[in-house]
């Protein structure tokens, strides 16, 4: 007798085949666990793998991607493209040069804003691999305002704020909050276990969310999704959203949000 009747499933199933897939793509959101995001290699980058997490192909008004940079790798030469960029170092240390400025090291937690139409280099000059979360967005000009200047910083030296009055919430605005030259924010959000938003949010701004630490349940549109560190979420405009942190310790994520511009 054969080990399985012909109608039985094969002994080895691909991961996620029966109920274990967490990845989901909908018209107004996408939940993207890292294990299924395949490698891209790009002409402008050497010794570097890019893993795209969000892109216009998904419906997003921006692109977000993880750069995995080998020792000696990085931008093949100075990159100069129209979109503005934001970089956040997840692991290892890279060196960024923006415009005519001196190169600046970005260790884990370091970040950089590159204005539109500005040359930059990003290199890994260390013996260890580095990972950098990158964001690229076409700049929406604000009438009578010039584009912003370059910025570099470390999140560890940014102030923690909390405008909600809710104990257990924390915010770090990595870009100058309320500066109308910027058309997006990059915010770190910190949550103690069990501390959630006061309401389900439904707003015009889009989000790109990268989970830095901890775990929880994320409400998207009409369903809850278990989220862990390294997961990514794209939330389109008006996608209902809520976060309920479930871990024993702090949860934190880095959140892109388009702001400060009128609708067409
Ligand atoms: O600022 C925000 O829109 C934020 N509270 N949204 C979120 O974390 N999903
Ligand atoms: Mn929101």
**Is residue 18 predicted with pLDDT exceeding 80?**
no
Ion ligand 2 residues within 5 Å by Cβ: 201
Residues 6+ apart with CB under 8 A from 70: 47, 48, 124, 129
Share of the chain above pLDDT 70, in %: 96
* Mean predicted confidence (pLDDT) in 118-141: 98
β-strand 94-98 against 151-154: which pairing, if any? unpaired
Q: pLDDT category, 122, cuts 50, 70, 90?
A: very high
Residue with tokens 């370059």: 150
Complex ipTM more than 0.95, yes or no: yes
The first and second tokens of residue 15, run together, are 């991961």
Ligand 1 pocket list (CB less than 6 A): 189, 197, 201, 207, 241, 255, 257
Supply the pLDDT for residue 132.
98
* Mean predicted confidence (pLDDT) in 47-71: 98
Ligand 1 nearest atom to the CA of residue 197, by list position: 5
CB 200: neighbour CB atoms within 10 A?
10
Ligand 1 nearest atom to the CA of residue 189, by list position: 8
> Read out DSSP for 130-169?
EEEEEEEE---PPTT-PPPPPEEEEGGGSPPB--S--TTE
For residue 75, give the H/E element and its range.
strand 63-75
Supply the pLDDT for residue 19.
73
Domain residue ranges of the chain, discontinuous segments joined by +: 24-258
Supply the pLDDT for residue 142.
95
Q: Whose CA is nearest to atom 9 of ligand 1?
A: 241
Tell me the CA distances in angstroms from 108 to 49, 76, 155, 166, one per residue in order.
Answer: 18, 22, 9, 28
Substitution site in 257, 258, 259, 260 for ligand 1 pocket (most atoms within 8 Å of beta carbon):
257
Q: Which ligand has the shortest distance to the CA of 259? A: 1
Phi-psi region of 135 (alpha: psi -120 to 50; beta: other; left: phi over 0): beta
How many Å lie between the centroid of ligand 1 and the Cα of residue 60? 16
Q: Which ligand has the shortest distance to the CA of 202? A: 2
How many Å lie between the centroid of ligand 1 and the Cα of residue 207? 8
User: Are 140 and 183 contacting, i.e. CB atoms less than 8 angstroms apart?
Assistant: yes
167-212 pLDDT tens trace: 999 999 999 999 999 999 999 999 999 999 999 999 999 999 999 9
Share of the chain above pLDDT 90, in %: 89
**Is residue 2 predicted with pLDDT exceeding 70?**
no
Q: What is the largest CA-CA distance in the chain?
A: 80
Average pLDDT for the chain = 94
List the one residue out of 62, 24, 83 whose CA is nearest residue 205.
Answer: 62
Ligand 1 nearest atom to the CA of residue 242, by list position: 9
Distance CA 178, CA 173 (A): 10
216-261 pLDDT tens trace: 999 999 999 999 999 999 999 999 999 999 989 999 999 999 999 9
- What CATH architecture does domain 24-258 belong to? Sandwich (2.60)
């Amino acid at each position: 007798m054969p080990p399985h009747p012909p109608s039985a499933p094969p002994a080895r199933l691909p991961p996620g085949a029966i109920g274990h897939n967490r990845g989901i793509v909908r018209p107004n959101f996408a939940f993207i666990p890292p294990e299924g995001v395949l490698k891209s290699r790009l002409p402008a980058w050497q010794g570097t793998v890019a893993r795209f997490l969000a892109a216009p192909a998904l419906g997003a008004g921006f692109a977000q991607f993880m750069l995995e940079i080998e020792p000696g790798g990085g931008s093949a030469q100075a990159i100069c493209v129209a979109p503005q960029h934001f970089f956040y170092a997840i692991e290892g240390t890279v060196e960024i040069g923006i415009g005519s400025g001196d190169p600046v090291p970005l260790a884990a937690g370091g970040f950089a804003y590159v204005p539109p139409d500005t040359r930059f280099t990003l290199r890994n000059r260390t013996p260890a691999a580095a990972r950098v979360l990158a964001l690229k967005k076409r700049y929406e000009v604000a009438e009578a305002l010039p584009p912003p200047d370059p910025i570099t910083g470390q999140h560890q030296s940014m102030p923690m704020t909390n405008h909600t009055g809710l104990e257990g919430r924390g915010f770090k605005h990595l870009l100058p909050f309320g500066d109308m030259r910027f058309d997006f924010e990059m915010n770190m959000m910190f949550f103690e276990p069990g501390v959630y938003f006061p309401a389900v949010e439904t707003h015009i701004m889009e989000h790109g969310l990268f989970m830095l630490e901890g775990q929880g349940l994320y409400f998207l549109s009409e369903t809850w999704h278990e989220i862990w560190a390294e997961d990514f979420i794209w939330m389109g405009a008006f996608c209902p959203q809520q976060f309920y942190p479930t871990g024993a310790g702090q949860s934190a994520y880095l959140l892109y949000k388009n702001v400060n511009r009128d609708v067409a």
